[in-house]
Structure 1
Amino acid sequence: MKIGIAGGGAFGTALGVALAMDGNPITLWARNADAVRQMTETRTNPKLPDVTLPDRMAFTAETTDLFTNDILLLAIPSQTVRDFLTTHRDHLGGKQLVACCKGIDLERMTGPASTINALVPDAIAAVLTGPSFAADIARGLPTALTLACADDAMGAILQTALSTTALRLYRSTDTIGAELGGALKNVMAIASGVAIGAGLGDSARAALITRGFPEMQRLAQELGAAPETLAGLSGFGDLVLTCTSKQSRNYRYGLALGAGEAFDKGTTVEGAATARAVRQLAKEMDIDLPICTVVADLIEDKTDVASALNALLSRPLREE
C-alpha cells in the first residue's frame, strides 16, 4: 500500500524517514513550497538537523500528489485537522487516514479520529500515538507506539504497513482512549514544566505526574475510553516521556511559563489548546480536574504560579 504524509514538520518528516529507510516509497506533502524545494534539493529539513532524507522520500506542495496514496498519515497540528478534512473530503473517501497529532478540537471537543469519522465517514480512521520524539524516530532509535483503529482487521493491516525495524506498533481498537491519552498528557507536561521552571523541584513534578494521571483516566473514561488504554503507551508511557524531557515542546513551554520567560510563539504547543478544551469539558460534565483547570488558567493569565500552587495545595486532605 502506498503511503503519503500530510505535514512537513519534524514528526511527519521523521515518520517518513523511518518508513523510507525500511524500503517504503513515501510522498510527503507540505504547505510551504519553499520548504518542499529545500527538502528536495538538499535532502534536509531544518527541523531535523543532522538527518539525511532518504531517496525514497518525495516531496510535494500539491495535494493531488498526496491523494494518490492509500494510507495518509495526518501529521498536522490538531487544530487544523478539521479544516484539512473539510477542504479535501472529496478526495479522502475510502482512504486509511491515520491521525498523528495530539489534541482536542476546540470547536467540537473531539479528538482527531472522531473528527475523521464525522467528516469523512467512508474513510478508515486510526490514531498513531505514544511516547516518541521526532529526532529519535528519524535516527532509527527504538520506539514503541500505539496504533488504534476501531476496525481491528484494518488495524492489523495498518500495523504491518507502518511498523519498521526500529518502530514497533502495538494495536488497539480504543481510538477514544488513544487520542485522549495523547492529548491530555500534553497538559500534564505543561504543569510539570511549570513546577520545574518555578523552582518547585523534582518531588513536586513527581506529585503532579502521579496526580495528573488519574485526571487523565477520569475524563477519558467519562468519554468512553477503556481504562487499560490510558495505562499503556498512549497514556502513561507518553505522560512519563513528555513530563521529563526538554525535547517536549509542551514541557519547554511550561518551563518558560513557570520561570516567567517568553516562549517562541511560532512553536506549536498542542497542550495549551487542549487545556482550554478540557477545562470546558470538566465544567460541562461536572468532573473534578484541578490540574488541567489550573494549567488553562495559567495559560490565559487568569492566575499566577503562586496562586495556582496555593489552589492545589489547599484542596481538602483525602485518601489516595
Structure 2
Amino acid sequence: MEIAILPAGVWGTALAVPASAAGNRVRLWRRTPGWSAGWDRGHPALPGLRLPDAVAACDSPADAVSGADLVILSPASAGLRAVCRLVRPHLRPDAVIVTVTKSIEPETHLLVHQVVGEELPEHRERIVALSGPNFAHEVAAGLPTGAVAACPDLTLADQVQAALMTDRFRIYTNPDLVGVELAAALKNVIALGVGISDGLGMGDNARAALITRGLVEMARLGRAMGANPLTFAGLAGLGDLVLSCTGDSSRNRRAGLAIGRGQSAAEFLAETGLTVEGIPTTRAAWQLARRLGVRMPITEAIYQVLYEGLAPLTAMERLMARPRAHELEEVAEADLGPPKAR
C-alpha cells in the first residue's frame, strides 16, 4: 500500500515506523523547502531513528499524495486547514484520509473530522481518526503501543487497522468517530489541570481525583454531542488521559506544571516554543459546555486560570468547596454506570 504522511513532524515521522514495518511504501513531506536533500532519515526530536528505504522524502505535497491509498494528516490544529488545501487537488477519489490531530477548532468548535470534511468534501465520508495513548518517541523506538482507528464506516477503519498494525503497534477499531476525537481533545484539557495541581504540590490523591472526575466530564460532553460514553473508557479516552496526566513527555502536563509553579501560559509557550493543544481546546470545550448546558467544573476552573487570571490555588480551593454530590448519580448521567432497572 502507498501511504503519504503530511507534514513529517515528530508524530508524522514516528508513524512512518509502523507504517513501513507493516510492509507499506511511505512518502513524507515537510514544509521546509528542499528538505529532502539533507534528510538523514530521521527527525531531530527523535534521536537514533533511521527510517528504512521504504520511506521516501518528498519536496511537494503533490509528490507525496499522488497515488496514495492512505493519506495521514498530522499537523498541529492551527495548520490543519492549510494542509488539507494543499493535498486536495492531488488526492485519489478512493483515498482514505487518516487524521491524528487532537483538538477542537477554537473559532468554530468543530471536531477534526468536521474541519477536514469542510476542506475535503469529496472525502467527507472517508475520514478515519487514529488516536490513543501514543508518545511519538516510544512509537519511533518500536515500543509496544495501542491505538484506535475510528470511523462510522468500519470497513475504512478496518483498512487503516490492516495497513498500520504491527506486532508493536496494535490497533483496535471503533465506529464512534465523534467520541474518539472528542476524547482525544478533552484529555489535553484535563492533563493541563493535573499538571497545575502537581505544580501546586497537591499530591497523588488530588491527581487521581482529577483524572477520575475529569473522565466523567469528558463523557458528559461526549454524550451531549452524540458520542458513545463507553468510548471514553477506551484507548482514546481513559488510556490517553492517564498517559497525558502522568507521563513527563506530555506537553499539556508540562505546561500545567509550569502554570502551577507560577509561570503564565504565555511565558511557558514563549520559553519552550511548544504547541500545547490543550490551551486553545480549554476555551473551546468550555464554550461548548456552556452552549450545550453540560456541567464541566474542572474544565471551567482551568479556563478561568488560563483566560480570566484566576490564581491556580484559588481554582483548586473552589473545586474542593463545591456543593456535596452523589458520585453514582453523576456517573449514571454520563452513562458510565450499571444499567438502571426497568
| TM-score, scaled to structure 1 | 0.95
Deviations 1:165-216 (A, max 9, x none): 2111101111000100110001111111111111111111111101101000
Structure 2: give runs of 5+ residues left out of the alignment.
Answer: 328-342
307, 313, 321: which one pairs with 1:314? 321
Q: In structure 2, what is the equivalent of residue 263 of structure 1?
A: 268
Query: Whole-Å Cα distance in 2 between the matches of residues 134 and 94 of structure 1?
Result: 28
Do the aligned partners of 1:176 and 1:225 also contact (CA within 8 Å) in 2?
yes
Query: Whole-Å Cα distance in 1 between the matches of residues 84 and 133 of structure 2?
Result: 26
Query: Whole-Å Cα distance in 2 between the matches of residues 139 and 60 of structure 1?
Result: 23
Do the aligned partners of 1:79 and 1:106 also contact (CA within 8 Å) in 2?
no
Gap change, CA 1:62 and 1:87, over 3 Å in 2? closer
Deviation at 1:264, TM superposition (A): 4.0
| TM-score, scaled to structure 2 | 0.89
Please report the RMSD computed on the Cα atoms of aligned residues, expressed in angstroms. 1.6
Q: In structure 2, what is the equivalent of residue 15 of structure 1?
A: 15
Q: Secondary structure at the match of 2:148?
A: strand
**How many positions carry a matched residue from both structures?**
318
Q: In structure 1, what is the equivalent of residue 52 of structure 2?
A: 54
Moved more, 98-107 or 112-121: 112-121
Query: Whole-Å Cα distance in 1 between the matches of residues 293 and 157 of structure 2?
Result: 34
Q: Secondary structure at the match of 2:201?
A: coil
Q: In structure 2, what is the equivalent of residue 299 of structure 1?
A: 306
1:89 and 2:88 are equivalent in the alignment: yes
Deviation at 1:37, TM superposition (A): 4.0
Deviations 1:197-249 (A, max 9, x none): 11111111111101101000000111110111111111111111110011111
Q: In structure 1, what is the equivalent of residue 155 of structure 2?
A: 153
Q: In structure 1, what is the equivalent of residue 70 of structure 2?
A: 71
Query: Whole-Å Cα distance in 1 between the matches of residues 165 and 106 of structure 2?
Result: 31
Do the aligned partners of 1:20 and 1:26 also contact (CA within 8 Å) in 2?
yes
Query: Whole-Å Cα distance in 2 between the matches of residues 97 and 118 of structure 1?
Result: 13
Deviation at 1:263, TM superposition (A): 1.9
Q: Secondary structure at the match of 2:128?
A: strand
Query: Whole-Å Cα distance in 1 between the matches of residues 90 and 309 of structure 2?
Result: 43
Q: In structure 2, what is the equivalent of residue 220 of structure 1?
A: 222
Kindly report which structure 2 residues correspond to 1:95-174, keeping only aligned pairs within 5 A, or say none. 95-123=95-123, 124-174=126-176
Q: Which amino acid in the other structure matches residue 111 of structure 1? A: L
Query: Whole-Å Cα distance in 2 between the matches of residues 119 and 221 of structure 1?
Result: 26
Deviations 1:62-83 (A, max 9, x none): 1111221121111111232123
Do the aligned partners of 2:197 and 2:316 also contact (CA within 8 Å) in 1?
no
Deviations 1:22-59 (A, max 9, x none): 33221011112365444x2x223111112222222111
26, 41, 44: which one pairs with 1:43? 41
Q: In structure 1, what is the equivalent of residue 337 of structure 2?
A: none
Q: In structure 1, what is the equivalent of residue 330 of structure 2?
A: none
Query: Whole-Å Cα distance in 2 between the matches of residues 217 and 188 of structure 1?
Result: 12
Query: Whole-Å Cα distance in 2 between the matches of residues 253 and 216 of structure 1?
Result: 20
Query: Whole-Å Cα distance in 2 between the matches of residues 35 and 49 of structure 1?
Result: 18
Q: In structure 2, what is the equivalent of residue 229 of structure 1?
A: 231
Query: Whole-Å Cα distance in 2 between the matches of residues 133 and 105 of structure 1?
Result: 22
Deviations 1:95-133 (A, max 9, x none): 211101100011221111122223323211110000110
